[in-house]
Each structure stands twice: as C-alpha cells, then as structure tokens.
Amino acid sequence: MAKHTLLFVDDEENILKALARMFHRTGHEIVLARNGAEALRVLQERPVSLILSDQRMPGMSGTELLARARELQPEAVRIILTGYADAKAAMDAINDGRVYRFLPKPWDDRALLEVVEEALADLDLKRENARLQEQVRRQNEELRELNATLERRVLERTNELQMALKLSEELNENLRKQNLATIKAFASLLDLRSQALGAHCRRVAALIPGIYGRLGMRDRAAVQDAVVAALLHDIGKIGLPDAILLKDPAHLGSNEREEVRRHPVLGEGQIQVIEGLAAVARAVRLHHENVDGSGYPDGLEADEIPLAARVLRVLDAYDHLTRGGARKGAEERLALEAMDRQVGRKFDGAVFNALLDVLEERKDAYDASRERKV
C-alpha cells in the first residue's frame, strides 16, 4: 500500500497522542489538529488521504467539519469517532457521502487500525478506478478514430476493442468493491445502534448460502444480493427509540407496532441510494410479506414476492424464535414445529424445507466433530 497522510482531529490532547502513537508504526505521515478550524487550515495547505475526527468538539462538530472538508478535498476518506449514537445524524452523513464510517469511542485499537487500512485500500482502489476510466476513455477515442481508417486495420481495431472491454470489466469490479465499503458502513451502524440487532442480521446472512444451495440456486450474484439483504434487512430499525426497539414485540402497543412495521420501507429507502443494489433494496422492503398475502407493506403473495424476501422471511423468524440459535433440543423443535404450521401462510414451503436440511447438516457436522474429539 502506498504511503498516505492521515489527519487526526480531537480537542483532547491525550486522545491525539494516543492516536499518533498507535499509527506511528504504520509508516503513514500523521498530522494532528485540536479543533475544526485548525483542521481546515491544514486541509487548505496540504493534501491528506484520510481524516479521523471526534464528533463532539467545541465550535464545530465532527460532521460539520467533514462536510466542509469534503468541499476542500473531496477524495479524502472521512471517519467519525463518537461516544454516542445519533442514528439520524449518522445515516444522513453516510447518505450525503460525508462519512465513510462511524466508530464508537472508546475504540478497540485493532478494529480502528483495520478500518483505517481498509479505508486507505478503498482510496487506492478509487484512484486506480479513475485511472482505468481515463484509459477506457482514451481507448474508446482511439477506436472511434480507427473506425475511419482503412480495412487493413480491422484486426488491430478488434484487438484494441477487446482490451477496452477488459478494462471495462475491471472498472465494474472496482465499482462493486466500492459498494462493499458503503455496505459495511451501513452494517456498522446496526452494531453502533444495537449489538443484538447487528448480530441477528449476521446470523441470518450466514444461513443464506446454504439455503440457496439447497434450493439449487447457483447464481453467484443472486446469492451475494441475498447475503447483503440479510446483513441490512433491519437497517430501518436504527431510528427507533430504545423504548420500542428493546421492548418484547408481544408487549408493543398498536401505535408502537405500526412504527415498527415501517422499518422495511425505511430500510429500502436507505439502501436504494447505493448504486446497483435495487434487488437488495426490494428484498429488504418485502422481507415481512407472507406467501398468503397477509404480510406487509404491500400484501404480496407467493411468487409475487422475490425469492430473497421469502428466504429472509423464514430465516428472520427462525432466528427470533430460537433466540439466535441459543434454544437447542426440544425448544428448537417446538419453534420449528410452530413455523411448520405456518407453511403456506407465512412461509414458503420449499424455503422452510431447505432450512430444515441446512440445520440437519449442521447437527450432523457437530455430532461428527464431537465423536472425533471423544
């Protein structure tokens, strides 16, 4: 990785010193600023690759600083350290493109180092992406010129066209990797809002490949979209107050229940701002639809509901009923029996059977592992 210049902004001297010590061994150049105004002066005088700022600072908040930093150096990666979870400010900042990631304060050293290195790798990728775009543009210009040349250059023109197509494929792959960084930013918000919510989404996502395999679905892109939808299917809940988010669903009042039922539509709205994730956004919107048409928000039924949403409906319910797999043995069997009674009403039968197969495979693998240990 190329050497980068990192700008750290915090009004607490001990925090700045701790960050400087931690990143000194990375080989990157470190610049420190004690407030937003000082940071802006640095940005006016020299280029930086990454800005890591505290959120609560006198005079100018971290998000305000990064909004202005974006105008001065739009390419610089922007990260916020915050000791509190302001869900709306965090979501707005990510949607506006101001912030690459929100991280909790106090931080875990290893996690912070990994996020910064990942952000710098993404920056290198964007720069390579820009280089490829320019190269593709030049190739296309050359191809247009070649169209007017003599027939004897047809073979040469074809070779250059193939090169341009290859570059375009590399460009599309780079764009996919950039989307992955945005997806990780949204997923980090779930953990920042509620570790239980984030863990639930990850458990559901972990079951997706096995379910799709059992259903005979080999389309890699479709599986990847379903995994992303699983990771983000509850993103619409991050704006819920604790009084609703942490309450047992059975004890929600009618108004509270209606507020919770809005989360699929809110989640769709957050995800559809990411280019190329239309199928993911739709699966998130429809993951509470029932196959008999009794679900929400659109009352779709059977094959009107995309496969990814039907899979999420089953896995979401399974994870909640088994408390993330904590209920084993008889308790898990009772949960699955309750779900079985809802097949054809709430749940797709093929998807539910695929879940049973995946769970049986896991049990067999666990039993085999125990036998080997014995």
Per-residue pLDDT tens for 283-292? 999 999 999 9
* 245 and 147 assigned to the same domain: no
This prediction's pTM = 0.66
* 247 and 341 assigned to the same domain: yes
Task: Tell me what pLDDT residue 218 has.
Answer: 85
Total of domains in the chain: 3
Q: Looking at 183, 204, 221, which one is the last position of a domain?
A: 183
Task: Tell me what pLDDT residue 87 has.
Answer: 58
* 162 and 204 assigned to the same domain: no
* 145 and 50 assigned to the same domain: no
CATH number of the domain where residue 283 is located: 1.10.3210.10
> What residue ranges of the chain have pLDDT lower than 70?
1, 84-98, 142-180, 324-329, 364-374
Task: Tell me what pLDDT residue 122 has.
Answer: 85
* 167 and 263 assigned to the same domain: no
Q: Tell me: the pLDDT tens digits for 131-153?
A: 878 877 787 776 666 555 544 55
* 175 and 299 assigned to the same domain: no
Task: Tell me what pLDDT residue 148 has.
Answer: 57
Determine, yes or no, domain membership for 343.
yes
Determine, yes or no, domain membership for 188.
no
The three state secondary structure string of the chain is: CCCCEEEEECCCHHHHHHHHHHHHCCCCEEEEECCHHHHHHHHHHCCCCEEEEECCCCCCCHHHHHHHHHHHCCCCEEEEEECCCCHHHHHHHHHCCCCCEEEECCCCHHHHHHHHHHHHHHHHHHHHHHHHHHHHHHHHHHHHHHCCCCHHHHHHHHHHHHHHHHHHHHHHHHHHHHHHHHHHHHHHHHHHHCHHHHHHHHHHHHHHHHHHHHCCCCCHHHHHHHHHHHHHCCHHHCCCCHHHHCCCHHHCCHHHHHHHCCHHHHHHHHHCCCCCCHHHHHHHHCCCCCCCCCCCCCCCCHHHCCHHHHHHHHHHHHHHHCCCCCCCCHHHHHHHHHHHCCECCCECHHHHHHHHHHHHHHHHHHHHHHHHHC
Determine, yes or no, domain membership for 189.
no
Determine, yes or no, domain membership for 254.
yes
Strand order in the sheet with 77-82: 29-33, 5-9, 50-54, 77-82, 101-104
| Segments forming the whole domain that contains residue 24 | 5-117
Task: Tell me what pLDDT residue 327 has.
Answer: 57
* 67 and 131 assigned to the same domain: no
Task: Tell me what pLDDT residue 89 has.
Answer: 64
